Structure 1
């Protein structure tokens, strides 16, 4: 692990600063939108726009990199992110913010694709899994630390928009000054969605539902806090609790996933997350219980991302694993676009509690579908299952493809050992 860090510290430092900037702007818009009088439906459109831009970029960025190279794409998208962050307080309008979020979502996806391809290129077959784990930890730490930045006093109304802009601008310095562009960039042709669904219905349905859950956490948690009347410090702790839970629970749940029927574990974990959402609704006004609920929802829902990818791999041939990743992330992206829209609409209808009602409903549907799938076919044998690579649902398809490579290599190694 230390060797991986030594070889990739500049990239990881840059990504930490990028996630700080991204985490600040996501929470800050939720708070400032409420202060400006934007309705929950308007804010849901703003937050959903990020994931729309992200999904568009997942299709277009590889072609951009092949045409002009990693460095140019990286620098250009970073400049756009920094510019949009500065413009947010200048145009305090939900539609202007939505356009800005589309641009930022597009740019962050492109930045992730470029950074993850560099990381994958720098890793060896033996260190790729460790590199992905470090990358995920850095992402989570950046989002968590960003919630403390939001607490900095901002009398002028501009400082908290300037800080993430500066963080994003500075983030590119260690990366661009220390890493050479990769010599080539290849992407795998995606598996068709009907083929993917036939291979793993639970993987497809689960990734769609999970997209809605995650985007509600990432995009609407600060909007919930504002609507519920939480103080600025409470909103910061509330948002951070989701990612602290995700960071702490990722590895123990991943360990269990490699040693049990993944469908059963997916069902149990989703149900626990659903009950935690009920706790949040019942404990309205009790902040400590709200933090516990957010910790559990984040700790249960985020590891499901890796578990569903690993579950899908269990029903695929080794050579099909990489091609399945793009389809899974496309499905997840569709759910992520719809998640804030549905959450914002429901919060507008029933109040702040609608936030956790929607999250709980999505997790209970996932748990119920997991139970149903367990009646439709037998679990794969332990010889046919593959290891889980921990991933956070905030990267691009490139990190997922890299995780698939880890699973492929482990599967091939297991085959050689059996032989």
Structure 2
């Protein structure tokens, strides 16, 4: 028993290291590639379109990734995902051409999406129910830490344009050697193969409430990153102030990720999601009343990020609690698709709200959405939990 627990802990540590390095890579590549294209005179519109390739790659992968994971297991998919990211990262400095970089960014998006899907699913399905919230919260924290450290890689440009790319690739290669030591596992197989749409409709019927969290998280994250700078400038904040305030939401999320995961293991994930949604809603609602006071806006951001920054990971853990094991991979696919849809809808709806209602309406809209989510939680009746 002790040996089994040690093997399980080692697997979790290695998977967490995969997520940290993947977060570092994404956190570095997003600003680094934008800076390099801007230096070479590429327009902001073309630069933004080029950056979208990463998200196109992530989104498109979700429509086919479940099948190879079920067929070959978690380990090969993680290794292929890491291999794609390493290959693309090494090719970036060879030829700085916008079309070539678009293709490479697509590859990075596909690789990132594959390794994240397989990693989070492996953690969720192999964790005992009483530790699932804690373990998936560690996954969320690991990505947040890696993503925060990533931009430091930009400072390596001083040593040469290829140095940041090579450094990231070396980190990936080190972790890849650790992944090689893991014993491969596969998701629980179906006795009879069901059509994808039938599995998806079953998942949505049983776990619609946990899966809304990924949509809300994507909406909130993208809306804040895209729309808050506009709000801030109109509220009288400087660009540097906006740059300081935005990361506070991520810091709040990092601080509260593990405590919320542990509490959800103890008191139930439904209760934690409802309470977090209500407190987050109040925090967003208070932001317009803070005016241009940096400390008050920062406090609201910290509370909001702390409360709703764990929604994606807690939603996955909750879905795994109430779904039959063979449907958990489908739930993860649906969660990732909804996150992408939320990420697209956030800036669009926020932009329309700013244009046609008021600048502060972006916060009223987010606040309303979280209130409705919390109220829907009271109507959600948990299905009888299947044996895990």
Task: Give the alignment's TM-score, normalised by structure 1.
Answer: 0.65
Q: Is the 8 A contact 1:343 1:355 kept in 2?
A: no
Query: Which residue, out of 26, 36, 54, partners 1:50?
Result: 54
Q: Does 1:180 align with 2:183?
A: yes
Q: After superposition, where does 1:313-332 map in structure 2 within 5 Å?
A: 318=322, 320=324, 323=327, 326-327=330-331, 329-330=333-334, 332=336
Deviation at 1:268, TM superposition (A): 0.7
Q: 1:195 to 1:111 in 2, by over 3 A?
A: closer
1:391 aligns with none
Q: Does 1:269 align with 2:273?
A: no
Deviation at 1:102, TM superposition (A): 2.8
1:15 aligns with 19
Q: 1:215 to 1:62 in 2, by over 3 A?
A: same
Q: 1:148 to 1:48 in 2, by over 3 A?
A: same
| CA deviation map 1:135-191 (0-9, x unaligned) | 333333222332444455537544434433333233312222x22333x45467666
Q: 1:230 to 1:53 in 2, by over 3 A?
A: same
1:28 aligns with 32
Q: 1:206 to 1:172 in 2, by over 3 A?
A: closer
2:309 aligns with 302
Structure 2 residue matching 1:179: 3-state secondary structure: coil
Deviation at 1:334, TM superposition (A): 3.9
Q: After superposition, where does 1:11-410 map in structure 2 within 5 Å?
A: 11-29=15-33, 38-39=43-44, 43=48, 45-65=49-69, 72-88=76-92, 90-91=95-96, 93=98, 97-116=101-120, 131-152=135-156, 154=158, 156-176=160-180, 178-182=181-185, 184-186=186-188, 199=206, 202-203=209-210, 205-215=212-222, 230=239, 235=243, 240-254=247-261, 258=267, 261=271, 264-275=274-285, 278=288, 282-283=291-292, 291-308=298-315, 318=322, 320=324, 323=327, 326-327=330-331, 329-330=333-334, 332-337=336-341, 339-340=343-344, 343=347, 358=362, 361-371=365-375, 374=378, 377=379, 380=381
Which has the higher relative contact order, 1 or 2, with Cα contacts under 8 A spaced 6 or more apart? Answer: 1
Deviation at 1:107, TM superposition (A): 0.8
Q: Is the 8 A contact 1:270 1:301 kept in 2?
A: yes
Inter-partner Cα distance in structure 2 for 1:171 and 1:222: 36
- How many residue pairs match? The answer is 369
| CA deviation map 1:294-351 (0-9, x unaligned) | 433432322223454567689xxx5547626634642552442462575279669979
1:395 aligns with none
Inter-partner Cα distance in structure 2 for 1:350 and 1:37: 28
1:403 aligns with none
Deviation at 1:81, TM superposition (A): 0.8
Q: 1:33 to 1:244 in 2, by over 3 A?
A: farther
* CA RMSD after TM alignment: 4.9
Q: Is the 8 A contact 1:51 1:337 kept in 2?
A: no
Structure 2 residue matching 1:181: 3-state secondary structure: coil
Structure 2 residue matching 1:60: 3-state secondary structure: coil
Deviation at 1:208, TM superposition (A): 2.4
Q: 1:159 to 1:100 in 2, by over 3 A?
A: same
Greater mean alpha carbon deviation, residues 147-156 or residues 238-247: 147-156
Q: 1:330 to 1:40 in 2, by over 3 A?
A: farther
Deviation at 1:278, TM superposition (A): 3.9
Q: Is the 8 A contact 1:48 1:341 kept in 2?
A: no
Q: 1:198 to 1:371 in 2, by over 3 A?
A: same
Structure 2 residue matching 1:180: 3-state secondary structure: coil
Deviation at 1:28, TM superposition (A): 3.2
Inter-partner Cα distance in structure 1 for 2:104 and 2:42: 19
Inter-partner Cα distance in structure 2 for 1:147 and 1:166: 16
Q: 1:18 to 1:267 in 2, by over 3 A?
A: closer
Q: Is the 8 A contact 2:223 2:350 kept in 1?
A: no
Structure 1 residue matching 2:184: 3-state secondary structure: coil
